[in-house]
Amino acid sequence: MIKPLQETVLLHVNGKEHLLDVEVSELLLDVLRDRLGLTGSKKGCETGECGACTVLLDGRPVNSCLVLALDAVGYEITTIEGLSPVDGPLNPVQQAFVDFGAIQCGYCSPGMIMSVTALLAENSAPDDEDIKKAISGHLCRCGSYVKIMDAVRYLSTVRQDENMKMTVELEKRER
């Protein structure tokens, strides 16, 4: 049984379908960057330690440098480009990173933002420990961790306030 080095795959990326011929050994990160032009996901250590290549598979953060493109079939893949429209406003996580200056060179930012997005999806008001755990798989060589923590803490507080407002609203309605 000899199969070609290439296979045709259907990848769901940021809500769009892409039919692509990929090499069997090609990594998701390379396909995203080199074939789809989605260069927001960065190539760093290539061994799953720096987190610069982090994307979401069905909402869960993974290192796209350690996932075969063939193995990403069937998942909804989300990259930093999928978080907000090209000409539209940034999403709240991106905006908070900008507002708090949580970016220096910016290389780690897309990965960090993907992990923070996943964190906030499962935990609406994370505490400092939760935040540190969520971004522990990311290296920022500029050392902007303090500002990153500030940005995510702010998001967490906003969520808490929103939750509070909703609870108050619900209580009012019930009355």
Partner 1 sequence: MLRKMRFSDYFKPADTRELFDYLHSYNGKTAFLAGGTDLFVQMKSGKREYDSLIDLKALNDMSYIREQANGGLAIGSLTNVRSLELSSLLLQKYPGLSTAASMLGSIQVRNRATIGGNLCNASPSADLISPLLALNADIKLLSEDGENIIPLVELFRGPGQTVLDGRILTEIIIPPLFNGNFENYFFEYYKCSPRQNMDLAVVGVSILLIFADENRQVIDRAAIALGAVAPVPMRAEAAELLLQGQRPSQELFARAAEQSAAACRPISDIRASAEYRRGMVRTMVLRGLLEACPC
Q: Give me the residues that bind partner 1 (CB under 8 A), please.
A: 1, 3, 5, 7, 24-25, 27, 46-49, 51, 54, 57, 60-63, 66-68, 70-71, 115, 118, 133-134, 136-138
Q: Residue 143 CB, nearest distance to partner 1 (Å)?
A: 15
Least separation in angstroms between CB 139 and partner 1: 9
CB of 137 to partner 1, least distance (A): 2
Shortest Å distance, C-beta 151 to partner 1: 18
**Residue closer to partner 1, measured from CB, 127 or 162:** 127
Residue 20 bridge partners (DSSP) = 9
CB atoms within 10 A of CB 165: 10
For partner 1, give the closer residue by CB, 48 or 95.
48
Phi then psi dihedrals of residue 150, to 5 deg: -60, -45
How far apart CA 84 and CA 86 sit, in angstroms, is 7
- Which residue has tokens 């080199």? 34
Q: Output 36 or 57, the one with its CB closest to partner 1.
A: 57
- Residues 6 or more apart from 67 whose CB is under 8 A from it? 27, 28, 29, 57
Helix (H, G, I), strand (E, B) or coil at 175: coil
Q: Other C-beta atoms within 10 Å of 58: how many?
A: 11
d(CA 56, CA 77): 6
Work out how close the CB of 36 gets to partner 1 at its nearest, in angstroms, rounded to a whole number.
19
Query: For partner 1, which is the closer residue by CB, 47 or 172?
Result: 47
Measured from the CB atom, is 25 or 167 closer to partner 1?
25
